[in-house]
């Protein structure tokens, strides 16, 4: 069988089709994933914030590790539950991006929590890494609003890193974390699910 070369128009159509398929996959499968990590992070942040505020004991920050401890098993369950779709190259790119971002977040969290001088950077770094992941996801699937909320959160995180550490600044960083989680995960998650409902209705 001879290999058929694609002309410029056919190549553009193929790329466009891949992006559209990735958008559909993201809409049908990732809304709940966004909401899982968004609400889990939000609830954990509020719990830690209240515990530290009530007790003044910063050791309650160890509760943050409940996010990956609960989140990854729940994500595995959701992924298995979702309808399996045809995966495109862009889907693989998005998956690879989040694997790298997750690894960077895990390494930074473990390394920085071991030194009282660097623990102040953990929350801003988590927001910065997540912002990069969300922004790249939006860019890959050509969704400007996803790219913008990721970029905005990244910028907010960079500015918050410059603040000196104190008990007051810890509260500030936690509030910033909560705001960015809502921007990056909860709002996009609900929007993706709403779009998925629209796609299902049109396909019915």
The pair of three-digit structure tokens given for residue 36, joined into one six-digit string: 């899982």
123 domain residue, yes or no:
yes
Number of domains in the chain: 1
- pLDDT digit string, tens, across residues 19-36: 555 555 554 445 678 889
198 domain residue, yes or no:
yes
How would you write the chain as a 3-class SS string? CCCCCCCHHHHHHHHHHHHHHHHHHHHHHCHHHHHHHHHHHHHHHHHHHHHHHHHCCHHHHHHHHHHHHHHHHHHHHHHHHCCCCCCCHHHHHHHHHHHHHHHHHHHHHHHHHCCCCCHHHHHHHHHHHHHHHHHHHHHHCCCHHHHHHHHHHHHHHHHHHCCCCCHHHHHHHHHHHHHHHHHHHHHHHHHHHHHHHHHHHHHC
Query: What whole-number distance in Å separates Cα of residue 40 and Cα of residue 20?
Result: 29
* Largest interatomic CA distance in the chain: 73
8 domain residue, yes or no:
no
12 domain residue, yes or no:
no
C-alpha torsion sign, points 90, 95, 96, 101: positive
193 domain residue, yes or no:
yes
**Averaged pLDDT, 123-139:** 92
- pLDDT digit string, tens, across residues 110-120: 888 877 667 77
- pLDDT digit string, tens, across residues 18-77: 555 555 555 444 567 888 999 999 999 999 999 999 998 888 988 999 999 999 998 888
180 domain residue, yes or no:
yes
Query: Which residues form the domain of 112?
Result: 21-77+87-203
82 domain residue, yes or no:
no
9 domain residue, yes or no:
no
């Amino acid at each position: 069988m001879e290999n058929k070369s694609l002309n410029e128009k056919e190549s553009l159509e193929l790329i466009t089709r891949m992006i559209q398929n990735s958008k559909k996959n993201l809409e049908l499968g990732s809304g709940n994933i966004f909401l899982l990590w968004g609400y889990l992070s939000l609830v954990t942040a509020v719990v830690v914030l209240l515990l530290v505020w009530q007790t003044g004991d910063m050791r309650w920050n160890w509760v943050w590790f409940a996010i990956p401890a609960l989140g990854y098993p729940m994500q595995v369950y959701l992924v298995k539950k979702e309808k399996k779709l045809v995966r495109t190259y862009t889907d693989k790119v998005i998956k690879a991006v989040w694997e790298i971002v997750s690894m960077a977040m895990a390494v930074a969290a473990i390394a920085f929590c071991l030194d009282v001088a660097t623990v102040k950077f953990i929350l801003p770094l988590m927001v910065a890494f997540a912002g990069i992941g969300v922004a790249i996801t939006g860019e890959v699937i050509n969704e400007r609003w996803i790219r913008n909320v990721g970029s905005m959160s990244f910028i907010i995180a960079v500015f918050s890193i410059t603040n000196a550490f104190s008990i007051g600044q810890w509260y500030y960083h936690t509030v910033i974390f909560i705001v960015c989680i809502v921007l990056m995960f909860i709002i996009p998650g609900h929007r993706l699910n709403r779009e998925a409902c629209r796609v299902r209705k049109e396909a019915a």
